[in-house]
Amino acid sequence: MHHLLLLLVVLLATPTLSIIRFSNITADKGELSLAVWAGAKLYVASSDDITLLSNVKITNNGEIKTAWDLSQLGTNPDGSEIGWKANGTITISSTNVENDAMWMTGFLYFTTFTQAQDPNFHVYLVNRKISITSNSDDVTLVFLNLNLGLRNQTSPLYIPDKSSQVSSVSSLPTSSFAIFWNEPMETYKDPVADASRQQRIFSNPLRIDAVWYFANVEPFQVFNDVWYIRSNGFLKFDVQQGWDDPNGGTTSAVTTTGLLMSSYAPENVTIHMISNAENSAISGLSVIYNLLYSVSFQMSGLEETINTNNDFRNARKEVWVPKLSNYFSVQSN
């Protein structure tokens, strides 16, 4: 029997706690004090103009670096970024005027103290192809996306501003990994914490009514400014900047799993799932969603509509959070 599970994600932007966007820092707004833990690490993710980055100044307990300086700190031997350790009060200011700053796409990202002290917590800037192999348990891999430069004023909404492409994913039945959108919170190691459950968008093995491990994982794309992977055991994959329209794509195996992310507006997307006529098949779909519009999902023998609902709003924080729908499946000959 061949099994296929395609996990589809429809996401909208949500507020972040550990990101300062350079477009929001201007000369007329003055100096901004950041709620950064002493001992935390600061990183810059930006493809903005050098002059504009040089006009953004970060003061760390009296020591001053520009955003450009931070972007040039380099990498560790494993390819992860070198961060700037917070030694006290952190402030940020800029001499950029609003008309210039508004076009900046980069941001300052900072960890918590606990994350900075974790030897298995690594931050990567997705500005090149990065090949990652991990054999360790309890690993956290954080990825900072850069602007793609694909969008203009007439671009369809489904084209993202930023995107990572992940391919050549390899793991073992005895290992596990999960993908999370937005930056890791202080409870990043707790899989049942509210933040972890709300941010998790993919896992292998997949746990629905049973534990389903897939040897084949389709290439996928993640749009968020920051996203991360939690891994236990062997995991190998490539990640690079880029985006391809998934519409019309075909799966690479009859037994496979994957992630499809849609940005802002639902679009008609067709994924062709290859099959083996000699075997029966199960095709399944899990949906993690944060919707402004109703979305219909169709497979041969299955049609399901997810409707918008005001109950999706998180009353505690007054923000939109993704919700997990039921698991849908269809069996065929």
pLDDT in tens, 23-39: 999 999 999 998 888 99
Q: Yes or no: say if 328 and 291 are a contact pair by the CB < 8 Å rule.
A: no
How far does Cα 96 stand from its chain's mean position? 29
312 in Cβ contact with 293 (< 8 Å): no
For residue 276, the model assigns a pLDDT of 77
Question: What confidence category does residue 10 fall into, taking pLDDT thresholds of 50, 70 and 90?
Answer: very low
Rounded Cα–Cα distance for residues 65 and 53 (Å): 11
- At residue 192, the pLDDT reads 81
Q: What is the pLDDT of residue 49?
A: 97
CA nearest neighbour of 5 among 172, 207, 200: 207
Of residues 308 and 305, more confidence is placed in 305
3 state SS for the chain:
CEEEEEEEEEECCCCCCCEEEHHHCCHHHCCEEECCCCCCEEEEECCCCHHHHHCEEEEECCEEEEHHHHHCCCECCCCCECCEECCCCEEEEECCCHHHHCCCCCEEEECCHHHHHCCCEEEEECCCCEEEEECCCCEEEEEECCECCCCCCCCCCCCCCECEEEEEEEECCCCEEEEEECCCCCCCCCCCCHHHHHHEEEEECEECCCEECCCCECCEEECCCEEEEEEECCEEEEEEECCCCCCCCECCCCCEEEEEEEECCCCCCCCECCCCCCCCEEEEEEEEECCCCCEEEEECCEEEEECCCHHHEECCCCEECCEEEEEEEEEEC
pLDDT digits (tens, 9 = 90+) for 194-229: 778 878 889 999 877 778 899 999 999 998 899 999
Q: In whole numbers, what is the pLDDT of the chain averaged over residues?
A: 83
| Higher-pLDDT residue of 17, 231 | 231
| Residue 303 in this model has a pLDDT that exceeds 70 | no
In total, the chain counts a number of residues equal to: 333
Residue 331: is its pLDDT beyond 60? no
Q: 62 burial class (0-12, 13-18, 19+ CB within 10 angstroms)?
A: exposed
- Domains defined for the chain, CATH in brackets: 2-15+118-332 (2.60.120.290), 19-110 (no CATH)
Please name which of 281, 272, 182, 172 lies closest in space to residue 229, comparing C-alpha atoms.
182
Could you give the CA distance from residue 159 to residue 331 in angstroms, rounded to a whole number? 33
Is the pLDDT score of 73 beyond 60?
A: yes
Please tell me whether the overall predicted TM-score, pTM, comes out greater than 0.85 for this model: yes
The strand pair at 139-144 and 121-125 is best described as: parallel
The yes-or-no verdict on residue 280 having pLDDT over 50 is yes
